[in-house]
Structure 1
Amino acid sequence: MNIHHVLNWPETTTSGGVVVYVWPPFRDARYGLGDGELRALTKLGFDFIRLTVDPGIVIAADGAKWPELRDHIGRQVGRLIASGFSVILDLHPVSDNPAYRPQALVQAADSPLFAAYVAMVGRVAEALRDFPPHAILFELMNEPWIESLSQASKWQPMLEALHARARAAAPSLPLLLSGMMWSDRLALMKLDVAPFRSSNVLYTFHYYDPHTYTHQGVEGDDARYVSGLAWPADSRGIADSFARAKSLVAADKTLSPGAQAAAQARTRQLLDELLVRGHDRLRVARDFQDVAQWASAKGIGADRIVLGEFGCVLSSNGLPVGRSRLDWLTAIRQTAEAVGFPWAYWAYKGYGGMELVDSAGRLHADLLTPLGLSHDINRSD
């Protein structure tokens, strides 16, 4: 299970026109995770937690702030391990502080900001090195924001620099490595793994394919105006969705006429591409087999390939996605298990409509069967 609210989205304020972090961080109730919640996750059947951490505040924590933040992170990790979970500590950039936005962190390997990120990775690795190695995994960067496979040569030396700094700080700490392009499976398979062969590393990718389906209606996404899509897509559903999208674009008064035309054209392109691709359960199987075969050819066991994120929105622009969402989740989870990949669902709480538990603390029980979880959540310990 991904947990994104405990050590991420730290509170910020503005001082002299500069965004700064409120200190001490992560103390408000919204960052809480109760003992009962941990027991419930155990009863459901989860056995590891991917705990996201905003790297921006870790970079910014200087002087006495870093030991205080280090200890707070350590307590959260230790608490999860004591509750019976293994933990992936995931450095997960977010955009609330523009100084540390995801794109900026990977702008250039020789930038001062990337150098600061590398140094921060060393500090975190040192903080984690005394946890039992069977119970901790350190993910060096979530979804590196390098947008094209043609830039694979840009990410490789950056990943090597991150790995080297973490390994120097913690020689035996297990590390989790990702390809760029938002941890895409194709980017993972572009990695040169030779520099990491003698190191205790695992690899990860994320799966939100087809993105137009899983992220339909998500604010700020290209698929913002898409709604009511089913999976697999068919021509009737595509036509109906585009008709609704045109109405939504026309009703969006924040867009200029030119922006409306561009949004409508982009939506048409996304829907056409979705229909042409014909994504279905067989496609999921082929995609995962491709990763498994790549791993095997590199001498990497399937159990060392982590499906770090997958999820699909519950509704889009007021329309429920419906039964096909559960079919999609079932296909992803079952296929991952069939090839031997550990998986982490996105996410426990949060925004965007993929969360397991809503803002009132109610469990979305319809997700239990697709995720292969226990329905006996009310049993006593």
Structure 2
Amino acid sequence: MKTRLSRRDALLLPLAAGLSAATAAETSKRAGARPLNMAKGFNLPDQAPARAGRIAREETLRQLYGLGMTHVRLPAVAEYVLAPFSGPATISSALDDLDRAIERLLGIGYSVSIDLHPGSDFNASHQRDPQSTHRALLEGWPVLAKRIGKWPQERIFAELLNEPATTDDLWRPFVEQLATAVRAILSKTYILVGPAPDHRIEALASWRPFADDRIVYVCHFYDPMMFTHQGATWDKSAPWGRGWGVPFPSAAGDPTLLALSRAAEKEGDSGLAGELRNMAVHAWDAGAISAQFAQLGRWSAQHSAPVIVNEFGVVKWKAKRADRLAWLAATRAAVEAQGFGWAHWDYDTSFGLLDDSGAIDQGVILALLGGKTRSVAPSVSATSPMTTGSDSGTK
């Protein structure tokens, strides 16, 4: 999820903060690292608009910051902040909720990415009528940008749209136009963009970077879906939701996968059986994941184009716990090896950082932070919007 970057910027602070000085210097040269604190983060949905019973506990957010999390990706639901989908009162209320969430997170010490996150209504519109949906984005983002512009530009970032429900041949030229419109309001804020429809690694690696030196390029990673999404309940048509016992790591021709495939075939579930066979074609282990990110690392280095992996995770219901933790650790290590930032999906739902009791899952934290944690979260006194140093577009 970039354009060309000045060497001065690249040397200030790598995205992969916390690496050794030698590794950080090499990462900066190789992957075009940005002077941003987007190194280690998580997604925090349901805050904008605020959903009853879903506001994150202050103590838990402070504990996560103290452990070493530095960045929160804060989804703002598109249908609640764009005029074609909601009226002025609803939009105002959602933006007020967004302000409260930003203030709270900045006050703890996090940097924050505002992610315009569409729901099913927006996505249906985007598929049915991309031109009118693009007009809605061009009209709605300036309103959102003015809210973002109240806050310190070095700690808040603008992500233009999560997983656009369109084709990249339509999205790529439009999002450059959208980024230009947002840049007219947010002159210094880093803007985050990724390819349609799913922000996949290979799609991003085929992109031509923008002519803007404050773009961060977004990708998401959930491969192999048969492992990471086994037991997912939200898409009844997806075969992986019917899966269970899918292992990680797995070998090419893995006997467990092939046995599960045969069992699914006997049950008459040819879709599930086929997905399991497809996964068994290749080995899925830490090396396979590393190779995928190395491909994107070469693109990033070639273009001095910083990248953040703004979603990755494993549904925790059916995957074996040890396998889930192994996948998280392997993915985090592969991402950091390329100097990319990351944000785990998500905070406390089906992929969450928290266990079923609402406590921080120490195994997940260890997999994500590699045992390198801070002991104390520093207090931050400046929690209100700032004019000096902010990016409101006025001087």
Note the C-alpha offset of 1:120. Answer: 1.3
1:270-318 Cα shifts (integer Å, max 9, x gaps): 1111111222222211111111111111122xxx2101111112232xx
SS of aligned partner of 1:224: helix
SS of aligned partner of 1:358: coil
User: Pairwise mapping of residues 78-157 of structure 1 onto structure 2 (< 5 A)?
Assistant: 78-95=103-120, 98=121, 100=122, 102-110=123-131, 112-146=132-166, 151-157=167-173
SS of aligned partner of 1:217: coil
Distance 2:288 2:358 in 1: 35
Note the C-alpha offset of 1:215. Answer: 0.6
**Alignment-derived partner of residue 305 in structure 1:** 307
Note the C-alpha offset of 1:340. Answer: 0.8
Paired-residue identity, %: 24
Long gaps (5+) in structure 1: 9-24, 251-260
Check whether the contact 1:58–1:66 (CA below 8 A) recurs between aligned residues: yes
Note the C-alpha offset of 1:333. Answer: 0.8
Check whether the contact 1:215–1:313 (CA below 8 A) recurs between aligned residues: yes
Distance 1:67 1:192 in 2: 36
SS of aligned partner of 2:79: helix
Q: CA RMSD in A?
A: 2.4
Q: 2:50 aligns with which of 26, 36, 45?
A: 26
1:58-96 Cα shifts (integer Å, max 9, x gaps): 11343344334323211211221111000011111123x
Long gaps (5+) in structure 2: 1-40, 379-395
Q: Cα gap change, 1:92/1:65 in structure 2, threshold over 3 Å: closer, same or farther?
A: closer
Higher RCO (Cα < 8 Å, 6 or more apart)? 2
SS of aligned partner of 1:366: helix
- 2:240 matches 1:223: yes
Q: 2:216 aligns with which of 198, 202, 209?
A: 202
- 2:184 matches 1:184: no
Check whether the contact 2:314–2:324 (CA below 8 A) recurs between aligned residues: yes
SS of aligned partner of 1:370: helix
1:205-260 Cα shifts (integer Å, max 9, x gaps): 0111111111112122331221101112243211332355357xx5xxxxxxxxxx
Distance 1:33 1:378 in 2: 21
- AA partner of residue 343 (structure 1): W
SS of aligned partner of 2:343: coil
User: Pairwise mapping of residues 1-381 of structure 1 onto structure 2 (< 5 A)?
Assistant: 1-7=41-47, 26=50, 28=52, 30-59=53-82, 60-95=85-120, 98=121, 100=122, 102-110=123-131, 112-146=132-166, 151-193=167-209, 196-219=210-233, 220=235, 221-234=238-251, 235-246=254-265, 250=267, 261=268, 264-300=269-305, 304-316=306-318, 320-351=319-350, 354-372=351-369
- AA partner of residue 367 (structure 2): P
Q: Cα gap change, 1:367/1:65 in structure 2, threshold over 3 Å: closer, same or farther?
A: closer
Distance 1:373 1:330 in 2: 7
- AA partner of residue 245 (structure 2): G
Check whether the contact 2:264–2:270 (CA below 8 A) recurs between aligned residues: no
Check whether the contact 1:185–1:207 (CA below 8 A) recurs between aligned residues: yes
**Alignment-derived partner of residue 253 in structure 1:** none
SS of aligned partner of 1:198: coil
- AA partner of residue 346 (structure 1): W
Check whether the contact 1:152–1:180 (CA below 8 A) recurs between aligned residues: yes
Q: Which runs of 4+ in 1 moved over 4 A?
A: 373-381
Distance 1:129 1:6 in 2: 22
SS of aligned partner of 1:206: strand
Q: Cα gap change, 1:380/1:199 in structure 2, threshold over 3 Å: closer, same or farther?
A: closer
TM-score by length of 1: 0.80
Q: Cα gap change, 1:161/1:197 in structure 2, threshold over 3 Å: closer, same or farther?
A: closer
Distance 2:312 2:140 in 1: 27
Q: Cα gap change, 1:284/1:118 in structure 2, threshold over 3 Å: closer, same or farther?
A: same
Distance 2:348 2:355 in 1: 7
SS of aligned partner of 1:315: coil
Note the C-alpha offset of 1:328. Answer: 1.2
Note the C-alpha offset of 1:31. Answer: 2.7
- AA partner of residue 41 (structure 1): L
SS of aligned partner of 2:335: helix
- AA partner of residue 46 (structure 1): M
Q: Cα gap change, 1:27/1:228 in structure 2, threshold over 3 Å: closer, same or farther?
A: closer
Note the C-alpha offset of 1:187. Answer: 1.4
- AA partner of residue 232 (structure 1): P
